[in-house]
Amino acid sequence: MYSLLFALQGALADELDVWLRKQRMIIFRKRAGNLSAVTLGRFVARAQRAAGLVGSINVLVTSSIEMRALNKRFRGKDSPTDVLSFPSASPAAGDPIVGEIAISREIAAKNARILGHTTAEEIKILVLHGILHLRGYDHENDDGEMGRCERRLRARLRLPGGLIGRAVSRDGRNSGAAASRQGALVARGGRKGSQ
């Protein structure tokens, strides 16, 4: 499992916005407008409850450069991506941390501009998407189950259109045509270090 504590290596304290509460850590290596670590931490707790995920989640909001390195290291893909999820290696062994989520602030900001909502909303959408992966959902292999769940939770959490809804057809299946209409959006990917 990628540990967000490594994200602190070499970073100056004044470059970071870090929030730590009840074994949940939110780290901003890249500022995201007026979204603070405290505000995002509260959203993570609400989204976890809504998704039924018990345990702590660490979240890193970082650069596309770091996301590219993580994507290459854990998924073998040498390109930046918007979100990666890292499930805990040993949740059954009593590890209070169920997983970690890393988000590219630059890609979130670009997608937010394209889709007409704020960067803060896009980051929350990416967090929700990551939480669902930590719950075990896999939109590439579940015949639309994750997409339906994400749409339901977006409505409950009052979020605009999310990742899967932007790149799936009406029947809930991945659609190349739907994805190509959102050309600037990053393609989705696999499980370990899932997107």
With 0-12 CB in 10 A as exposed, 13-18 as middle and 19+ as buried, what is 116? exposed
Residue 96 has pLDDT above 60, yes or no: yes
Q: Please state the pTM of the whole predicted model.
A: 0.76
Distance separating alpha carbons of residues 158 and 139, to the nearest angstrom: 21
pLDDT at 190: 34
With 0-12 CB in 10 A as exposed, 13-18 as middle and 19+ as buried, what is 162? buried
Cβ atoms of residues 134 and 126 within 8 Å: no
Residue 128 has pLDDT above 60, yes or no: yes
SS3 assignment, position 13: helix
SS3 assignment, position 80: coil
Task: Report domain extents, the chain.
Answer: 4-142
* Tens-digit pLDDT profile for residues 45-54: 999 999 999 8
User: Which alpha helices (H) appear in 52-183, and where do they start and end?
Assistant: 64-75, 105-115, 119-134, 145-156, 176-181
Q: In the structure, what pLDDT confidence band is assigned to residue 55 with cuts at 50, 70 and 90?
A: confident
CATH number of 4-142: 3.40.390.30
pLDDT at 90: 66
